[in-house]
Amino acid sequence: MDNFNDDLYPLALLMDELKHDDVANRVQAMRKVDTIAMALGPERTVNELLPFLHDVAQDDEEEVFAELGTKLGSFVPLVGGHQHCEPVIQILLILVSMEEPIVRDKAIVSLNLIADELNDEELHGIFLPMVSTLSSGNWFSKKVAACGLFKSIIRRVNEETRHELLQTYLKLLTDDSPMVRRAAASNLPAIIEKLDGALPADWDVISAMFHHLVSDDQDSVKFLSVDVLVAILARFRESGDDSHNSQFLASVLALIGDASWRVRYTAADRFGKLATNFGDAELAKLVDPFVSLMKDNEGEVRKAIARQLPDFCEYLANIPDGRSIIVEKIVPVVAELAEDPHEAVRAAAASKVTGLAPILGKEATIEQLLPIFLVMLKDEFPEVRLNVISSLSVVNSTIGVSLLSTHLLPAITELAQDSKWRVRLAIIEYIPKLADQLGVSFFNSELLSLCMSWLWDPVFAIRDAAVNNLKELIVIFGSEWANREIISRLLHSPESSQDDQDQIDYSNFVIRLTCLFTATKIIPVVDFDIVVSSILPFVNHLVNDSVPNIRFNVAKLYLVLAETFANSGQPNASSIVSNDILPKLEKLQSDEDVDVRFYASRSIQGIENLALKAN
């Protein structure tokens, strides 16, 4: 497609590629259709390309149709504006009538995009008749397509037409085909959201739709009534009309108590969205239904409602005696969820239960929630433990670090040595937050040795995370702390006296490599003088290491040192690079190992580039 100056070339090439036997090639060709349209220009696109695409839409594979349906949504400017887009709509009309859902869905999205571009006259003259035709189609796919298009026109028509459209939609919602009813139910919330200035008669129709939904004999349709109710509640709340709250509450309670677990699951999953639309009186009446969902005999329902704990309890806390209700009625059932027979339920509860701490306050958290946290931290399922650990900072902000450490630190220390490496990894990622809250003295006495031990973990991901962890700790506690507690223990010559240091077995090359990785990571966050006096000598010693992997990492680290020195602003930085680093790199440049030579040469080149920038 290099020669777009040839008037015939782009379209001819597309036609040729769309005749290819391989479907993947035809899909690839269809992805270029907008580029072809730009090359042809609006007039030829309308007169030549669109008729060709109309024929393609009659006979090809669904993958090609899906790509075409996607591309046509952006064709309005390519045909010269909305006034010329009727041929595009006609092609999409073919696609939305197809049985294949992916093709139909792509075409519906594109038609809705085009509808937004049409003026009112074109919407009434082209789009509205199309929706009416699809709605009265003799095949389910047309009716399903129609359901997805109402939201584009419902706001832009007059009151009389809007009411007629809603009556038509009611017919779709009561269609004999469950697939049509399901499509109508799925799209109804979007229509309700756009019903600005709706008349009481319109809401009567919506109410009829909702009642048909909640009495539908198909669970796959009925559970969608929950989202419809959420949309209705939101509209009435926005308008400030709470006169129907008792009626709506009855509907919520009916859905929560439905015989179908799928309906109860959806009600549980949307419980927060439902509850936020009610006042204090209705919220109090939702407590027992909430508890009943927490005790539901279906694990999926309990899992869904567990995720709603913080949101619903936050609403409850704002009503009279709300916190007492939470402590007396909800927390005991949370304790049951912490020992639920289904591990997915326990994991869901663990991910949300810490969110109750700021709602209940310090005293209730200590008395009521800490025992639950401890149970979850000892759970045999790793995800339960991980979910509690990852959100402990919320608890710390409520009860303070001293109480947190007293009650939970032993459990955290135990998890830090867990046999599951992902659990250890989660603890490592949490340590910097905990360290910042504990303070340096407590951290040094309780957690520092643990952090150092992770450097020698048999799993590389743990060692790597431990190195990153040390960098974050240095940012929190500072360079002097790093020099005293980290560098003096790790980065010294193997031949030096270690009377005051923990013995490190440098004979193991993995340990030497880990120390080298640690040096590389912490150099940017350590003071210049400490780098020169403590880290550089350690690195220099490893130039002669027997393991090539060590030597080429030394070569890479020298560039990190040079970059750090260049940004330090220290007057002697350049002389250290010239007199100490470059000679070592030149030695490595003649190393017997090809990788060592490569990285040494690259670091030398990098240092030369730094010098050029400085000059």
Is position 557 within any domain?
yes
pLDDT in tens, 53-67: 888 887 768 888 899
Give residue 498's pLDDT. Answer: 47
**How far is it, in rounded angstroms, from Cα 354 to Cα 370?**
9
Q: Domain holding 95: CATH number?
A: 1.25.10.10
Residue 100 has pLDDT above 50, yes or no: yes
Is position 26 within any domain?
yes
The CA angle 79-85-91, to the nearest 5 degrees, is 105
**How far is it, in rounded angstroms, from Cα 59 to Cα 72?**
17
Domain end point (choices 73, 101, 117): 117
Query: What residue type is assigned to position 157 of the chain?
Result: V
The residue with greater pLDDT, 10 or 585, is 585
Long-range CB contacts for residues 215-223, cutoff 8 Å, separation at least 24: 216/181, 218/178, 218/181, 218/182, 219/260, 219/262, 219/263, 220/178, 220/182, 220/262, 221/178, 221/181, 221/182, 221/185, 222/258, 222/260, 222/262, 222/263, 223/260, 223/262, 223/263, 223/265, 223/266
pTM: 0.74
In this structure, of 62-71, 227-236, 237-246, 545-554, the range with the lowest mean pLDDT score is: 237-246
* Other beta carbons less than 10 A from residue 505's beta carbon: 10
3-state helix, strand, coil in the chain (%, to 5): 75, 0, 25
pLDDT in tens, 4-14: 444 555 667 77
pLDDT in tens, 325-362: 999 999 999 999 999 999 999 999 999 999 999 999 98
- Rg of the chain's alpha carbons, rounded to an integer? 34
**Mean pLDDT value across the chain:** 87
Give residue 175's pLDDT. Answer: 92
35 CB-side CA count, 13 A: 13
Q: Which residues contact 331 (CB under 8 A, 6 or more apart)?
A: 356, 360, 368, 369, 372
Identify the three-state secondary structure at position 32: coil
Instruction: Output the 3-class SS for 357-418.
Output: HHHHCHHHHHHHHHHHHHHHHCCCCHHHHHHHHCCHHHHHHHHCHHHHHHHHHHHHHHHCCC
DSSP letter, residue 321:
T
The residue with greater pLDDT, 396 or 378, is 378
The residue with greater pLDDT, 45 or 9, is 45
Residue 131 has pLDDT above 80, yes or no: yes
Give residue 388's pLDDT. Answer: 85
End-to-end CA distance of the chain: 47
DSSP letter, residue 458:
S
Give residue 4's pLDDT. Answer: 43
The rounded Cα 349 to chain-centroid distance in angstroms is: 19
Give residue 502's pLDDT. Answer: 53
> Token pair of 240, please?
């400030």
**How far is it, in rounded angstroms, from Cα 516 to Cα 509?**
10
**How far is it, in rounded angstroms, from Cα 533 to Cα 475?**
19
Range of the domain at 506: 478-614
Give residue 380's pLDDT. Answer: 83
Number of domains within the chain: 2
> Token pair of 129, please?
């008749």
The residue with greater pLDDT, 436 or 320, is 320
Domain end point (choices 87, 117, 147): 117
Q: How far is CA 358 from CA 319, 329, 399, 473, 494, in A?
A: 16, 18, 9, 27, 50
Please, which pLDDT band fits residue 495 given cuts at 50, 70 and 90?
low
* Other beta carbons less than 10 A from residue 461's beta carbon: 13
Is position 6 within any domain?
yes
Domain end point (choices 65, 84, 117): 117
pLDDT in tens, 456-471: 889 999 999 999 999 9
Is position 349 within any domain?
no
Residue 501 has pLDDT above 50, yes or no: no
Is position 533 within any domain?
yes
Residue 391 has pLDDT above 70, yes or no: yes
Residue 111 has pLDDT above 90, yes or no: yes
Give residue 400's pLDDT. Answer: 76
**How far is it, in rounded angstroms, from Cα 314 to Cα 359?**
6
> Token pair of 492, please?
């010294």
Is position 166 within any domain?
no
Is position 213 within any domain?
no
**How far is it, in rounded angstroms, from Cα 242 to Cα 230?**
14
* Other beta carbons less than 10 A from residue 502's beta carbon: 10
Q: b/e for 136-170, b at 16 or more Cβ within 10 A?
A: eeeebbbbbbbbbbbbbbbebbeeeebbebbebbe
Is position 280 within any domain?
no
pLDDT in tens, 190-206: 999 988 776 788 889 99
Q: How far is CA 43 from CA 78, 90, 131, 243, in A?
A: 9, 17, 28, 57
Please, which pLDDT band fits residue 500 given cuts at 50, 70 and 90?
very low
* Nearest by Cα to 295 from 388, 254, 287, 223: 287
In this structure, of 189-203, 238-252, 272-286, the range with the lowest mean pLDDT score is: 238-252
